[in-house]
Amino acid sequence: MISLLLALTISAAPGVVEMNEPSAKEASIQAIVMLPELSLRERMVLRNVVHTMTRQTEEYGRREMSMVSLDGEQPQAEVMSDHVRIQILVPPGGVKGGVRLLDSLVRRASLFQEAIDTTFRAQLKQTPNYWHSALWTDELVPTPILRPEEVKVYQKVFRPDAITIAVGGEIVPDEAEDEWTRRTTDWKAPATQPDFGKYTASSPDRNEGGISTVELRGATFVSGDVAIPTRLLALIALGSGKDSALYRIGRERHAWSYRQESILWPVVGGWSPRLIWATTAGEDAPKRAETLRTELYEDVRSWNEAVRLRALGFAEGILSRGVELSPLYLTGRGPVSVDLADRTFFVGYWKAKTGIAWDAEKLLSRLRYVTLEDLKDAASEILSTSEPRIRLGR
């Protein structure tokens, strides 16, 4: 979910985005680290890195971190397909301290072998749910990691030219930027290219969550594509909420799915349109996938103005009121929420991803100019370029 930010003051400086909200009772510091192309092994190691780095740095142990953060909450970090997100919540007046902690996390994390092993064991105990397994089709089976390998990935990912900082809430203008610039002026990241050997991949045709999922994934397009509004509206018409094409055909006509969503999934350098549904299908899943694609394609040809207006209304609800079922999956939980931390993250992420400041009203105005024929063409392109991906429940 994305909240319309018209009432907020948003400014963008190189590397820093500020969202001033004086009525807030806290401040949110978000680091968005855009990822380079990584091997599957590097991605697996990176998942361990982000959960290990928040345990200890050269300057901060967990106790020291809790003294900086709001209510003693530890920094949070997660990996998405195209970025790492680090979150530090601080009380009003605590932004400088939070920036100092962030600097330590991204440059001087301890990454001791004992902590790496602890994180690894915790990952082994996790049981992914079926939707996570459907989203992350290229995850690896976790295997032991040695510290030199982890350090190489850490240095490759956390680089000054890859990091955008977003601060939101009760903040002093330019304070975060001044502190970040002062602390990182001399940061020269080494050029490292980790050399990894063989790895063990998860079975691509099994859903570890135990429920079968089917996907149609369209062709990837670049981050700054001028047709993003049209593609977003097409995805909403295809698979967001009741009365979407996927709901009407997959759920109501065939009773093949009990959860279905359209997703604009971030990838390095761009976006991938995805239609995913959970199903009781077994070995006949490939046939069902092809049947649904054919019938969706036929449905698109019959779309009328009512379909366009429904999709537009849904988009307005997402962008202006935080309606659920947004196709923009940007966190491990799904779409961003309307809380301060997620809103701060989103304005920073959008700047990092597209190079321009987030402007919900501008996007809405562009959506309103999408014609019915444009909508049908974009939906047809998603379907015609899509490839089925099937993961059968164990």
165-211 pLDDT, tens digit per residue, is: 999 999 999 999 999 999 999 998 776 555 555 454 444 567 776 78
Question: What length does the chain have?
Answer: 394
Average pLDDT across the chain, whole number? 88
pLDDT tens track for 226-285: 889 999 999 999 999 889 999 999 999 999 888 999 999 999 999 999 999 998 777 788
E strand segments, the chain: 9-13, 16-20, 27-34, 76-79, 83-90, 163-169, 206-207, 212-217, 221-222, 257-267, 270-279, 329-331, 334-335, 387-393
pLDDT value, residue 50: 96
Residue 62 has pLDDT above 80, yes or no: yes
Per-residue pLDDT tens over the stretch 65-91: 999 999 889 999 999 999 999 999 999
Give the model confidence (pLDDT) of 293-320 as tens digits.
999 999 999 999 999 999 999 999 888 7
pLDDT tier at 98 (50, 70, 90 boundaries)?
very high
Pull the structure tokens for residue 318.
């997402």
In angstroms, the CA 175 to CA 271 distance is: 33
List the single range of 25-29, 131-135, 381-385 with lowest mean pLDDT: 131-135
Between residues 388 and 6, the one the model is more confident about: 388
Give me the residues paired with residue 274 across strands: 217, 263
Structural contact between residues 71 and 107, judged by C-beta atoms closer than 8 angstroms = no
Tell me, what's the pLDDT at 15? 86
**Structure confidence at residue 351 (pLDDT):** 93
Phi first, then psi: give them for residue 49, nearest 5 degrees: -55, -50
Residue 255 CB contacts under 8 Å (≥ 6 apart), including other chains: none
Reported as half-sphere exposure (CB side, CA atoms, 13 A), residue 65 has a value of: 22
Mean pLDDT of 213-219: 93
Share of the chain above pLDDT 70, in %: 91
Average pLDDT (370-390) is: 95
Query: Is this model's pTM higher than 0.85 or not?
Result: yes
Look up residue 70 and give its amino acid.
Answer: L
Give the residues across from 34 on adjacent strands.
83
- Rounded-to-integer distance, Cα 319 and Cα 236, Å: 13
